[in-house]
Structures are given as structure tokens and as C-alpha cells.
Amino acid sequence: MIRRQVLALAAAALTAGLAASATAQTITLHGAVQFNDDHAFNKSLLRFEELVRKYYGKPVNFVLHKNSELGLEKDYFAYMNQGKAVDYGIVSPAHMSTFSKAAPFIDAPFLFRDLAHWNKVLDADLLKPIADEIAQKADVMLIGYAGGGTRNIFVNKPVRNLAEMKNLKVRVQGAPIWSRTFAAIGMSPTVIAYNEVYNAIQNGVISAGENEAAGVESMKFYEVGPNL
């Protein structure tokens, strides 16, 4: 199961950048990420900053707020839509559903067979209608796609097959498509904020969660859900 993320840039920030370039003033853009320096998302945003500095050709500063300093992914997209606090970040397509009903489709479990299949979709620009709709309705530009690692289910007790996972409470993000996916295999999906998953498993509110390996490691989910 492969999950996708979207690198987004507030159109307001782009407009500000174009205006500032006319007078050669240095602009400052604020980014946000939930993770620390070791996470792939943080490294991706730093690389994005490097490329902008290289190709923009005008003075530009970046301030990257890490470790959920400015909230969670859903907050980042809301801030970009509102034109405040966050100018760029990597967010789940699920958080764009208010502006595009098709956006969560990008993140549908088992939609892509493998990385080659995903890259073929990108090369064909098949997601452009979704990006155009979000740009028009949310004033946020989708400028790239990230993520793509295999999703892993981690549980607080040994499980050997799907039958033993039946009725286990598993944390899912808010998009209905994720709840329906886990309900279809007999689990009990529960929407919980990402930064509350560790404590929720530790305190017995839920028994399981799902994430990419990088997230499991950085958030130390393996401590409370050692059965991967």
C-alpha cells in the first residue's frame, strides 16, 4: 500500500515574490513540517529551498518550522489557503478535500501498483485537473509530489493474519477513504491526530496505527506498537 503526499505552495507567497522581485527586495517564505531533521519530508523541503535559490535568481530567505511547531499538516494547508503563517509544506491530499472532492483519490490505498506505475501517472500529467481545481478554489499551488513508501501497520500485540486483526482499533487520518479501507478488512478505524497516536496506543485507546517506515521511526511508534 503506497501513500502519496503533495508539495504545496501558497499562491499568495508566489505573488508576493513576483512583486518583491520588481524592486530586488529579499522575500522570506515560511515552511512547515511535522518532523525532525532526519525525516525524508524535512530533507525534501530543504532540497526544494536549494532549488528555488538556484533558479529563482532573486534574493529569497526560507524559514522552515520543524517538529510540528506550527501544528499539523491539516493546519499547514489551511494557513496556505488563508495566506498566513505557512507558505510551503508537504501535506496529505486528504486535507484538500474541501476544495477538491477528487484530491483524496490521489491517496487511495492500493491505487498504484508500484513506483513505476506512480511515475507513469505523473509523467502523463494525469493529476493536473486536481491541481488546477485546488489552485482556483484554494489559491494554493501543487508544485510536486512526495512520499511513496510502503505503509506499515504496527500493533501493540502479536498478530499473524487478518482474522486476528478483526475489530482492532486502528488510527486513521480523517479522509473517509482510509476509514472505509480498514473497515473493509474488519478493523475498527478511529480518527486521531497524528501527534496523539503514541499516547493513544500507550493508554489503550487504540491498538494499532499505520505509517511509512520513516514516520514509525521518527515518532517512535515501534515502542508502543512493536509488532509491524
Q: Given pLDDT bands bounded at 50, 70 and 90, which one contains residue 165? A: very high
Please state, in angstroms and rounded to a whole number, the distance separating the CA atoms of residues 182 and 80: 30
pLDDT at 8: 76
Cβ atoms of 109 and 151 closer than 8 Å: yes
- Rounded average pLDDT over 21-33: 80
Residue 198: count other Cβ atoms within 10 Å of its Cβ.
16
User: Would you say 203 and 182 are in contact if contact means Cβ atoms under 8 Å apart?
Assistant: no
Q: Where are the domains of the chain?
A: 3-145, 151-224
Helix 128-138 to helix 73-82 angle (10° resolution) is: 60
Architecture of domain 151-224: 3-Layer(aba) Sandwich (3.40)
Given this model, what pLDDT does residue 10 score? 74
CATH number, span 3-145: 3.40.190.170
Q: Quick one: which H or E segment has residue 2?
A: strand 2-10
Is-same-fold flag (3-145; 151-224)? Answer: yes
CB burial class (10 A; 0-12, 13-18, 19+) of residue 28?
A: middle
**The three grid cell numbers given for residue 44, joined into one nine-digit string:** 525534501
More confident residue, 9 or 18: 9
What was the pLDDT predicted at 4?
Answer: 61
Q: What is the pLDDT of residues 169-179, one digit of tens each?
A: 999 988 788 89
**For residue range 213-228, what is the model confidence (pLDDT) as tens digits?**
888 988 999 999 999 9
Q: What share of the chain is helix, strand, coil (3-state, %, to 5)?
A: 45, 25, 30
